[in-house]
């Protein structure tokens, strides 16, 4: 079987916000707005017997709430929502979950680590946590103004996820979940988030990929302040190797961008992109560099407060990966140098 040499988008147009379109029998693609430069998230509505299963819920807002209310009246037409599945804890995926649970009576399904992380994200910063974050970013190379800006930028999480869900059914790697009498195989991956769930229907060759594989952008891979020596890039690259075991003809239903064919080609692109970033950082470290300098080499120096946090986390993910491969060494906290 030949491998696709480019991505193929079977649907010519994406749905308008709040207007689901059927992409294959019983599976509908819904787009809703999010308040970022990446202005949308894809949600999935799956026919489930006499009702529906929802995959991901959207960023909490009055606009998204109105979309769900209109869908309940005009699309679901009072058919019950049986399950609400959330791929991972980020607010554009889980933000509306508590409200939808109350509105529909449906139960939430997600992985354990993602559920627990939601509650951590929603908890106010303590003075001790602020101090720990401050030390983390100071070691990275940020100045006082940048540190304050990053710490104060968490409003997107609290606005988009005002209330964590209080109960759930655990989804585990290697298990299956039945939707409309069909088995969807569950795989959990770390790197982008602690225990991100992807769903695969082998019979129909369908992958609901969440943020793990996206058609035009790479998901953020970040080191967090509470685990500064973590190597999430290794975990993410491992996840791509596992996803490459799926059928080449798999139709990918991503959380951002368009539905596409060409899973193996896209995995190869993502892998090569990270390897190129690693090579660039090695070359740049011909002399000692701070984490901030490496971040600016990767992403430029004009990042918003929100993107400063993501940029620092991703730069450090690449640094830690190179340190783990003995291609860089750290000294004086986050100062790095190339070691032959």
Is 94 inside any structural domain? yes
Dmax (CA) of the chain = 66
* HSE value, Cβ hemisphere, 13 Å, CA-based, for 230: 21
Q: Output the average pLDDT for the chain.
A: 93
Is 322 inside any structural domain? no
Is 115 inside any structural domain? yes
- pTM for the whole structure: 0.95
Alpha helices in the chain, H assignment, sequence order:
62-74, 91-94, 97-104, 112-122, 127-140, 144-152, 155-160, 232-243, 263-284, 291-299, 305-324
> Which residue in 252, 245, 136 sits closest to 204, CA to CA?
252
- Whether the per-residue pLDDT at 340 is higher than 60: the answer is no
Q: Which domain holds residue 242?
A: 21-264
Give the mean pLDDT of 193-216: 98
Is 325 inside any structural domain? no
Quote the percentage of the chain above a pLDDT of 70: 95
Is 13 inside any structural domain? no
Is 333 inside any structural domain? no
pLDDT tens digits, 291-315: 999 999 999 988 888 899 999 999 9
pLDDT tens digits, 81-138: 999 999 999 999 999 999 999 999 999 999 999 999 999 888 888 899 999 999 999 9
**Per-residue pLDDT, 156:** 56
- Whether the per-residue pLDDT at 317 is higher than 80: the answer is yes
pLDDT tens digits, 318-329: 999 999 999 998
Looking at residue 184, which CATH number applies to its domain? 3.60.15.10
Cα–Cα distances (Å) from 75 to 20, 47, 146, 184, 329, in that order, read: 9, 11, 46, 24, 56
pLDDT band at residue 214 using 50, 70 and 90 as cut-offs: very high
- Whether the per-residue pLDDT at 215 is higher than 70: the answer is yes
Which residues are within 8 A (CB) of 295 and not within 5 positions of it... i.e. 6 or more apart? 140, 311, 312, 314, 315
Phi, psi of 91 (to 5 degrees): -60, -30
CA distance 188 to 212: 10
pLDDT tens digits, 162-182: 889 999 999 999 999 999 999
Is 297 inside any structural domain? no
CA distance 30 to 164: 23
**Per-residue pLDDT, 1:** 40
pLDDT tens digits, 43-87: 999 999 999 999 999 999 999 999 999 999 999 998 999 999 999
CA distance 196 to 42: 16
Q: How many domains does the chain have?
A: 1
What the block records as the tokens of 41 is 């998230």
Cα–Cα distances (Å) from 280 to 120, 236, 286, 308, in that order, read: 35, 19, 11, 20
**Per-residue pLDDT, 154:** 66
Is 291 inside any structural domain? no
∠ CA 80-82-88, rounded to 5°: 130
């Amino acid at each position: 079987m030949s491998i696709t040499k480019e991505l193929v988008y079977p649907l010519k147009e994406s749905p308008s916000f709040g207007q689901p379109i059927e992409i294959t029998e019983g599976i509908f693609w819904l787009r809703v707005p999010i308040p970022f430069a990446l202005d949308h998230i894809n949600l999935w509505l799956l026919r489930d017997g006499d009702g529906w299963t929802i995959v991901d819920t959207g960023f909490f807002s009055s606009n998204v709430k109105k979309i769900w209310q209109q869908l309940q009246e005009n699309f679901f037409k009072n058919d019950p929502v049986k399950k609400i599945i959330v791929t991972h804890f980020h607010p554009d995926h889980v933000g509306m979950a508590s409200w939808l649970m109350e509105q529909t009576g449906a139960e939430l399904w997600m992985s354990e680590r993602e559920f627990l992380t939601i509650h951590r994200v929603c908890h106010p910063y303590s003075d001790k946590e602020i101090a720990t974050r401050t030390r983390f970013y100071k070691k990275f190379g940020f100045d006082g103004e940048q540190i304050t800006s990053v710490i104060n930028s968490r409003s997107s999480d609290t606005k988009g996820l005002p209330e964590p869900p209080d109960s759930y059914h655990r989804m585990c790697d290697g298990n299956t979940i039945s939707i409309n009498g069909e088995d969807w195989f569950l795989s959990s991956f770390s790197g982008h988030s602690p225990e991100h769930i992807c769903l695969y229907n082998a019979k129909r060759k369908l992958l609901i990929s969440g943020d793990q594989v996206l058609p035009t952008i790479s998901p953020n891979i970040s080191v967090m302040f509470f685990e500064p020596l973590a190597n999430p890039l290794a975990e993410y690259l491992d996840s791509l190797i596992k996803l490459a075991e799926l059928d080449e003809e798999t139709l990918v239903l991503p959380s951002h961008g368009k539905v596409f064919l060409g899973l193996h080609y896209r995995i190869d692109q993502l892998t090569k992109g990270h390897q190129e970033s690693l090579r660039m950082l090695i070359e740049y470290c011909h002399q000692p560099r701070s984490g901030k300098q490496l971040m600016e080499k990767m992403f430029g120096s004009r990042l918003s407060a929100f993107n400063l946090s993501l940029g620092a986390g991703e730069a450090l993910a690449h640094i830690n990966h190179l340190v783990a491969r003995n291609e860089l060494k750290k000294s004086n906290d986050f100062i790095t140098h190339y070691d032959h």
